[in-house]
A and B are shown apart, each in its own frame.
Chain A
Amino acid sequence: MEYYVAIGSIIGIHALLGLSVYLVAISGQMSFGQQGFFAIGAYLGGMSTALWGLPLLPALVVGALVSGVMGLLVGFPALRVRGLYLAIATFGFGEIVRLAFLNVRYTQTIGGRVVGPNGAEGFRHVRYVFDRGFTGLQYLGIILIVLAIVIVLFYFLERSKVGATLRAVEEDETAAAMVGINVTRVKVLAFGGGAAVAGLGGALFIHYSTYIDHDMVALPLAIASVTYPILGGLGSFVGTLLGAIVLVGLTEGLRVLHELREFVYGGLIILTMIFRPRGIVDEALVLRVKSWFSPRAARRHAEAP
């Protein structure tokens, strides 16, 4: 049972990380730096409960907010570049954050334990959830509630004018600018929003694991976070959720595959990119599924090239 609770918790947290990449991706940008925002959210969220005595909910808000603001600050300069350049620039940012936390020391001794970010030692003893007597199952519930709230937000976003604006910028920046869309603002907001979601995931993570260090937010996490939306598909956020559930479920759930998880990830990425460059749940599939339910979407599907 506990095993499945643990897998569920990891799926929930990784789904948030994947959604943060997805939000940036549907405005036409690829970020390899979301693990940096995840780290900021984790450290800030952990400091909130462990050092400043805040309850869990404000700690999550602090993690998400600080990450989001950092996203806006990084977004402005970074979004001058696009495509491959942006992917590399954001990875550079992620590494800067990681290496910065390798050097940050801000500790207090609480109950005989050194608590707080402690350089290469990492940030240990974030025991809020443990001390308050939450069970693993209860904390999984909290993770899933937060994820559900984010999913509802994404659901309405995709159907709103803002969602259409994001897609317009992805499709053709020049055309979007010509119909009066402020492209820079849209891109920076998407980047900030994505950063906040990643920060939220990080804050949830550190209270789940009680511990984080710089090694946990390095290249492998960056790869995992972009793998969910890119394999799952950029047609709908459902693809990202599916990607996280299937990949984490497969690799954590089956012991045989756990040994080979990196091979599974690598091989799946290559095969998906060759056969479905927009992922499993791509725009064509979304239209086809919609056409089962509404005649209008069916017409659009028939017209689509």
Chain B
Amino acid sequence: MTLVFDAIEQFINGLMFGCLYALIGGGFTIIFGVMRRFNLAYGSNIMAGSYLSLVPLYLFRSPAWIMVLTGIAAAILVGLLIEFCCFRFIKKGHELAPLMTTIGMLIVIDQAIVHATDAVGLKYPSPFGDVSYELGPFLVRPDYVAVLVAGIACFALLFLLLYKTRFGRAMRAVAERPEAAQILGVSVRRVNVLTFVLTSALAGIIGFFAAVSVGSARPDLSAFVTGKGLVVMILGGLGSLPGAIVGGLLLGVMEFEATWFLGATYRDILAFLILFLILVLRPQGLMGVRTT
């Protein structure tokens, strides 16, 4: 009976924390959907957001919402830097070149953070308190509830933006047929830059919630979110936002169950095993459409 109870409790935790994974995967997948390129520096973008959001806290003990806004602004600047260095000047027809430049950028940003902080994790206070909520017989962590709320709000905004605004329509047009969109008067470059602004703003939000739920801003944060982001993006299907939600929740639940019942290292093996198998057996992902 306790076994079932534990399984359900971990299921709830996994679903809530999975919202964070869904957001990470969503950021990766939007960039891929619009530009048909991986941005492997996205994890560093997120990490830069969470570190820089600590600046106003250290300077004048700012409240949490100012930290979030600072994180978003900083992440947007870093995102524009990534777009400028890694994508703008790449010649067409070299598929792997932007993959490599973003890896280069990942190293540079991560090292800049490591050098600036002496590789020591910085304590990241949670504004949500540490008193768990009671949900029937189950206990729920307050920061996980915040992650859940943030996830729902962000995805609602993203879908509104993508399907109810002119910019969203331009983004979807570029994602589907860049040349045709260009002919019809959509500036592909502008859409690309705005896509970076959008995903970087998301990176700032993710950076805040990731650091809050871990309890500190740590230099291995970028490797962590990069791993999760790739798994979620590929699990759900490249370029599919609903896929990112399904993939994120699925990964969250699987990880919490695996951690509880098998142990932490098996959790990571499981995640990469799923990544490998999905790529090999169903490259289009769970929700993706097969393209040739």
Interface residues of A (CB under 8 A from B): 30, 77-78, 80-81, 83-85, 87-89, 91-93, 95-96, 99-100, 102-103, 219, 223, 226, 230, 262-263, 265-270, 273-274, 277-278
Contact B272 A96 (CB under 8 A): yes
For the complex of A and B, the 4 pairs showing the least CB-CB separation, nearest first, are: A269-B104, A266-B107, A266-B108, A262-B111
A-B contact list, 14 entries, CB within 8 Å: A30-B96, A77-B280, A81-B279, A81-B280, A84-B96, A88-B234, A92-B273, A92-B279, A95-B268, A219-B223, A263-B107, A265-B107, A266-B107, A277-B97
In the complex, A18→B96 CA distance in Å?
A: 17
Report yes or no: B105 in contact with A83, Cβ–Cβ below 8 A. Answer: no
A74 to B100, CA, bound (A): 23
CB distance from A15 to the nearest CB of B (A): 19
Across the interface, which residues of B come within 8 angstroms of A84, CB to CB? Answer: 37-38, 95-96, 99
B101:A270 contact, CB within 8 angstroms: yes
List, in ascending order, chain A residues with CB within 8 A of B268's CB. Answer: 95, 99
Q: How far is the CB of A128 from chain B (nearest CB, A)?
A: 29
Q: Measured between alpha carbons, how far is A229 from B107 in the docked complex, in Å?
A: 18
CA distance A99 to B266 in the complex (A): 8
Residues 91-114 of B, flagged 1 when their CB comes within 8 A of A and 0 if not, give 100111111110111111011100
A265 pairs with B104, CB closer than 8 A? yes
B272 x A267 contact (CB < 8 A): no
- Which residues 76-126 of B have a CB within 8 angstroms of A? 85-86, 89-91, 94-101, 103-108, 110-112
Which secondary structure dominates where chain B touches chain A? helix
Min CB distance B270 to A, Å, is 9
Q: Are the C-beta atoms of B280 and A78 separated by less than 8 Å? A: yes
Q: Do the beta carbons of A87 and B96 come within 8 Å of each other?
A: yes
Q: Is the CB of B230 within 8 A of A88?
A: yes
A252 to chain B, nearest CB (A): 17
Least CB separation from B227: chain A residue? A95
List of A residues within 8 angstroms of B108 by Cβ: 262-263, 266-267, 270
Beyond A103-B265, A226-B100, A277-B97, 5 additional pairs, beta carbon < 8 A: A80-B283, A262-B107, A269-B101, A273-B90, A273-B98
Residues of chain B with a CB closer than 8 A to A96's CB: 269, 272-273, 276
Contacts of A30 on B, CB cut-off 8 Å?
Answer: 96, 99
Q: Is the interface of A mostly helix, strand, loop or mixed?
A: helix
B-side contacts of A268, CB under 8 Å: 104
B275 within 8 A of A: yes
Number of interface residues of B (CB under 8 A): 39
Distance (whole angstroms) from the CB of A70 to the closest CB of chain B: 13
Q: State which of A88, A270, A278 has its C-beta within 8 Å of the C-beta of B279.
A: A88
Over the window 257-277 of chain B, the binary record of Cβ atoms lying under 8 Å from chain A Cβ atoms (1 yes, 0 no) is 000000001101100110110
Q: How far is the CA of A99 from the CA of B275 in the complex (A)?
A: 14
> Using Cβ atoms and an 8 Å threshold, which residues of chain A touch B112?
263
* B45 CB to nearest chain A CB (Å): 15
In the bound complex, CA of A30 to CA of B96 (Å):
8
In the complex, the answer to whether B100 meets A269 with C-beta atoms within 8 Å is yes
A88 and B85 contacting across the interface, CB-CB below 8 Å: no
Q: CA of A219 to CA of B98 in the docked complex: distance in angstroms?
A: 18
- Measured CB to CB, the nearest residue on chain A to B91 is A277
**Shortest Cβ distance from residue B29 to the other chain A in the assembled complex, whole angstroms:** 13
Neighbour of A81 across the interface among B98, B106, B273, B283, CB < 8 A: B283
Q: Are B104 and A92 in contact (CB under 8 A)?
A: no
Contact (Cβ within 8 A) B272 A269: no
* Known A81-B279, A87-B96: A100·B269 in contact at CB below 8 Å: yes
Roughly how many angstroms separate A176 CA and B99 CA in the complex, as a whole number? 26
Contacts of B105 in A (CB 8 A): 266, 270
Hey, which chain B residues are within 8 Å of A277, CB to CB? 90-91, 94, 97
Residues of B within 8 A of A265 (CB): 104, 107
Check A89 against B107 for contact (C-beta < 8 Å).
no
B86: chain A residues at CB < 8 Å are 270
